[in-house]
Structure 1
Amino acid sequence: MGLLSIIKKQKLKDRESRCLVLGLDNSGKSTVVDWILASYKNRPRQLVTPTVGFQIHTVPFQNHSVQLWDIGGQSTLRPYWDNYFDKTDVLLWVIDAAAAARLGESVDELKTILQNRDRLGYNCRIIVLVNKKDLVADLDPVIVRLKTDLSEMLKLENVPIEVCPTSALTGDGLDGLMPMIVEKSARKL
């Protein structure tokens, strides 16, 4: 029960990834999580309702255990988001591409989170999903605006952010998400 036990526990812990799924209400966070659960835990797709509070799901992937923390995005819940930041390896930020009027609000909320980088952790990797791409005729202006806003916001920091257009309803663009989560959490400093 000495050093060997400690090393074994650390090896198991190194294969765990904690992914915090955040975004404004109705952005599709729970639908993304549902798609992951259906794809990697072989369960049927569920009827998704707005998350009140939070839900935690553990998904096995490539000898890793990925914990998905799906947190409600209603404005009344946002002040409590920072209670979930501890030990987060990957922040999965979900944006509703079909709600162009809320893009600024979503970027502002992400900016607020990134201003608390010490609370979130400087090793936390960030993936932004521009969701509901199936509902937008031309997604390019949304992606360009988002990348511009994010690069302007983070111009003085070395924060790697991956932006991915997706449709959680159809699964389009989500195939590479779990490998990205595991890769990003494995690159922790």
Structure 2
Amino acid sequence: MGIIFTKLWRLFNHQEHKVIIVGLDNAGKTTILYQFSMNEVVHTSPTIGSNVEEIVVKNTHFLMWDIGGQESLRSSWNTYYTNTEFVIVVVDSTDRERISVTREELYRMLAHEDLKKAGLLVFANKQDVKGCMTVAEISQSLQLTSVKDHQWHIQACCALTGEGLCQGLEWMMSRLRLLCKESNRKDAEELVDGAHVELSKALHGGTLQYCLTA
């Protein structure tokens, strides 16, 4: 009966969802992380390594890893990919010169085996700056419509004010609700199938007959 109990546990257990926040240096990743965790702007310096915070939204727990974006650190991003459910890519909407670099890093990530099931949220940050790239421009530059194997969403935001961040979180929440329904339906079907198997074993082994006649 161990398999059945495992399925029941999965049906009702509240798990923690791993999120990685990546992007080039100075994109606003750490500012966004601490807007999520503290709802305020904190003074940040370039991240060497990573920062991690647990974010709780409507009883849903996210473990968010903010990973340094300097060129020398990007080759180590893949050490954080295991068990990642969402990738948040933060784009500096004022950095037109390096948008192609962001695109290259994005597609390198999405091709990684450990991220094949991860959802993609792109934050177009610094939308408060005059002359910045629009969401449509960034989407086109990143060729997001070519992303077929991952669910994705692009959201305009301003990390300093927090504008747009809640909408990004809500997209992740909606994805989790959908995945939870699909997973629970599958687990429920497997639970019923497992119960039938155990019942069949009991019938053939005479266990039920013994219990009924004892």
TM-score under structure 2 length normalisation: 0.74
1:128 aligns with 2:129: no
| Distance in 1 separating the partners of 2:106 and 2:130 | 22
RMSD: 2.3
Partner of 1:32: 32
Task: From the superposition, tell whether residues 45 and 150 of structure 1 become closer, same or farther in structure 2 (CA, over 3 Å).
Answer: closer
Query: What CA distance in whole angstroms lies between the structure 1 residues aligned with 2:51 and 2:169?
Result: 18
Residue 6 of structure 1: how far off its partner (Å): 7.0
Higher relative contact order (CA 8 A, sep 6+): 1
TM-score scaled by structure 1? Answer: 0.83
1:178 to 169, 174, 177: 169
Q: Is the 8 A contact 1:35 1:45 kept in 2?
A: yes
Are the aligned partners of 2:124 and 2:138 in contact in 1 as well (CA < 8 Å)?
no
Alignment of 1:88-103 (within 5 A): 88-103=84-99
Contact 2:85 2:119 in 1 (8 A): yes
Shift of 1:64: 1.1
CA change 1:70–1:138 in 2 (3 A) is closer
Larger Rg: 2
Whether the 8 Å contact between 1:97 and 1:136 is mirrored in structure 2 is no
Q: Secondary structure at the match of 1:77?
A: helix
Task: Answer yes or no: is 1:154 the counterpart of 2:146.
Answer: yes
Ranges in structure 1 where 5+ consecutive residues have no aligned partner: none
The one-letter code sitting in structure 1 at the alignment partner of 2:128 is D
Q: Name segments (4+ residues, structure 1) moved above 4 Å.
A: 2-6
Distance 1:152 1:127, change over 3 A: closer
Secondary structure at the counterpart of residue 78 of structure 1: helix
Q: 1:152 to 1:134 in 2, by over 3 A?
A: closer
Distance change >3 Å, CA 92–CA 152, structure 1 → 2: closer
Counterparts in 2 of 1:152 and 1:179: CA distance versus 1, 3 Å:
closer
Q: Which residue of 2 aligns with 1:112?
A: 108
Name the CA distance, whole Å, in 1 between partners of 2:175 and 2:86: 7
CA positional deviation for 1:178: 2.2
- Give the whole-Å Cα distance in 1 for the aligned partners of 2:26 and 2:48: 12
More helix, by proportion: 2
**By how many angstroms is 1:112 displaced?**
1.1
Which residue of 78, 81, 86 corresponds with 2:82? 86
- For 1:7, the equivalent position in structure 2 comes to 8
Per mean C-alpha deviation after superposition, the further-off stretch among 26-35 and 157-166 is 157-166
Contact 1:130–1:164 under 8 Å retained in 2: yes
